[in-house]
Amino acid sequence: MHFTQREQQALRDAGVDQDTIEAASDAVVEATDDAAAALEAFFHGRETVYSDMDIAHSSSEIQEHTVEYCDLFTHADDIRGYLRFDTWGVPVEGGRVLSEEKVELSLGPTVHGRVRFAADEDAL
């Protein structure tokens, strides 16, 4: 179940029946799975992507990355995983598709921030 016990109780107190709560929970899980698949598909088969990542010692606002892979998994409404570039990688802690040519990921340590990735520099 996606919703916590407190959220479920609040929904029941507001008059939402258990079948509706379960259907809403299932819809959240399905939407999260679809989003993770779309994010992986964005990186799959792309050798190079561009980002607005803030990188130390770089004077450019746009960074170029050689992508090895993006491997994501889901749990309820969480998207987690790993994005591997040619020489380094970073944990993924969430994300969303912005368009066919642009996505946004929440990256964990060492980046600790939201980063937009695009297939082409002009999309950023």
DSSP secondary structure of 47-77? SEEEE----TT---SSEEEEEEEEEEEEETT
Helix or strand or coil: residue 84? strand
Note the CATH number of domain 5-123.
Answer: 2.70.180
Condensed to tens digits (0 to 9), the pLDDT of residues 31-60 reads 999 999 999 999 999 999 999 998 766 678
Confidence at residue 76, expressed as pLDDT on a 0 to 100 scale: 86
Q: Where are the beta strands (DSSP E) in the chain?
A: 48-51, 63-75, 78-85, 89-99, 102-107, 113-118
Helix or strand or coil: residue 38? helix
Q: Tell me the CA distances in angstroms from 16 to 12, 21, 37, 118, 120, one per residue in order.
A: 5, 7, 30, 41, 45
Confidence at residue 50, expressed as pLDDT on a 0 to 100 scale: 96
pTM of the model: 0.88
- Structure-token match 């008059």, residue found: 15
pLDDT bracket for residue 10 (50, 70, 90): very high
Q: What are the boundaries of each domain within the chain?
A: 5-123
Cβ atoms 80, 101 nearer than 8 A: no
Cβ atoms 36, 96 nearer than 8 A: no
